[in-house]
Structure 1
């Protein structure tokens, strides 16, 4: 997909691939990030589907994010939080809008991710993507 977009003239650094954590294919995602695309990791959705398929857990997402940070891809990643149905709201038993800041950021800190990297993932990356100085 990235090849199609860049062939049409879109710079790869303007491409954001969202919910890359639905199926964590490390080599493929590293290839996309190395080519310049931004990977959006979306926390808070741990659904099970028919035929035994399930979303990765937040712990599995954290493991992958930690690996990508260790590989130097911080500037090619942003973090998000899944709230797109009412059952994902805290009132209805979901993780809620504050899940990313309430649980994921402290978990990353606990894994040794420093504030500079957190700012890259949560502030600098989104600012770059939104063209905000």
Structure 2
């Protein structure tokens, strides 16, 4: 069992405090037509990450994939300079962010390409991804190309045993994703269902947790979607329901304006603000260690040798 980082394999216990869903070098402006969504200033990102480190952050799962401006060499550079464990991603995001050269692909082509990246590295870099993600469905629906992508990602996950991390648009389609994984016999303890802090229906999230999947509460600090107080209350509900070993935390920064230097929440928002609020509500250090350390170790471990 190991975790694949941009600088090579590590043992799970080497990972430390982990943000489960972030973007350090991303460009969504091709589709969004908004320069704020091009976050590629490495020096400014590293300055922001220094605060994440100051609060104890050690690892980041970087879910920028093909079509989102992915650059594995930049991630390796950040990892070396910052002494952070960074996990890179393979796969594609969702419609309409899928690259032009893949818009007509079927599940077999997606699976073949994802497996090739996992086995040989991303492009010419030889840097290997450690997660298939973020694989996305649209708001309340799966577009046809997204279905092909999901089936391809599932096949690749089965063949390589890499964890699979998803995007749910505004928290929707979480149960539908779970049902698809169950139907295709993908082990749910190898799946992270994303953005479930944007799903305001706690009962649905609990159904997802009952399946055995990990749930990511990974847009913390984005209060334009939902207040962190509401996120906090939902998280406490899930913990009190007995699911403390299946929940992951992060903030999903994608914009220049999300950085502290530009008045945003910064990569440290979870550790700086959200965790102290959890402690104030009586959540123990033991449980917090599960959320930040133990659960990511399990979720992102690759359970095979070779």
Give the TM-score, by structure 1 length. Answer: 0.89
Residue from 241, 259, 281 that aligns with 1:71: 241
- Which protein is richer in helix relative to its size? 1
Q: Which residue of 1 aligns with 2:269?
A: 99
Matching of residues 74-93 of structure 1 within 5 Å: 74-93=244-263
Report deviation, 1:33: 0.1
Q: Distance in 1 between matches of 2:280 and 2:204?
A: 27
Report deviation, 1:110: 0.7
Q: Which residue of 1 aligns with 2:278?
A: 108
Structure 1 unaligned spans of 5+: 48-54
Matching of residues 13-52 of structure 1 within 5 Å: 13-42=189-218, 43-47=220-224
- Which protein is richer in strand relative to its size? 2
Report deviation, 1:93: 1.2
Q: Deviations over 1:30-86 (max 9, x none)?
A: 011011011111201122xxxxxxx11111100110111111110111111231111
2:214–2:247 Cα contact (<8 Å) kept: yes
Q: Distance in 2 between matches of 1:62 and 1:45?
A: 13
Q: Which residue of 2 aligns with 1:52?
A: none
Larger radius of gyration: 2
Structure 2 unaligned spans of 5+: 1-176
Residues 1:129 and 1:59: Cα distance change in structure 2 (over 3 Å): same
Report deviation, 1:9: 2.1
Q: Distance in 1 between matches of 2:302 and 2:284?
A: 23
Q: Which residue of 2 aligns with 1:11?
A: 187
Superposed CA RMSD: 1.4
Give the TM-score, by structure 2 length. Answer: 0.40
Residue from 219, 232, 247 that aligns with 1:62: 232
Q: Which moved more, 1:114-123 or 1:78-87?
A: 78-87
Following TM superposition, the consecutive aligned residue runs of length 4 or more in structure 1 with deviations greater than 2 angstroms are none
